[in-house]
Amino acid sequence: GAVVSQHPSWVICKSGTSVKIECRSLDFQATTMFWYRQFPKQSLMLMATSNEGSKATYEQGVEKDKFLINHASLTLSTLTVTSAHPEDSSFYICSARDPRGRVGYTFGSGTRLTVV
């Protein structure tokens, strides 16, 4: 139980375009999901906390207009990187907290974004 599916696994896009990444909780309802960014050989940096039915809470220094987060249902959160540039290339990982408390926090498999 407590599976989180993240899609796509990798994406290449042209500079100036937008990219949407999906994060789904498959067997539980996640009122809260988290979006992280990870640079090579570094730890995870929390970008924002996504709350179902309300606005996301962004960490300091994260541009909310560039990284749009939508959490329209209890099983789906999306991260849209708008007007992507090469410096946005990174590994993005989502996580969901299982409210049943059995596992805690489950992570998706990540999305490798490359902006060319």
Binding site for other proteins (CB under 8 A): 6, 32, 34, 41-44, 46, 49, 51, 57, 91, 93, 95, 97, 101, 103-110, 112
CB-nearer residue toward other proteins: 80 or 107 = 107
DSSP one-letter string for 87-109: GG-EEEEEEEE-TT-SS-EEE--
Going by C-beta distance under 8 Å and a sequence separation of 6 or more, which residues neighbour residue 32? Answer: 49, 50, 51, 52, 96, 97
Q: How far is the CB of 16 from other proteins (least distance, A)?
A: 26
Nearest CB to other proteins, comparing residues 16 and 26: 26
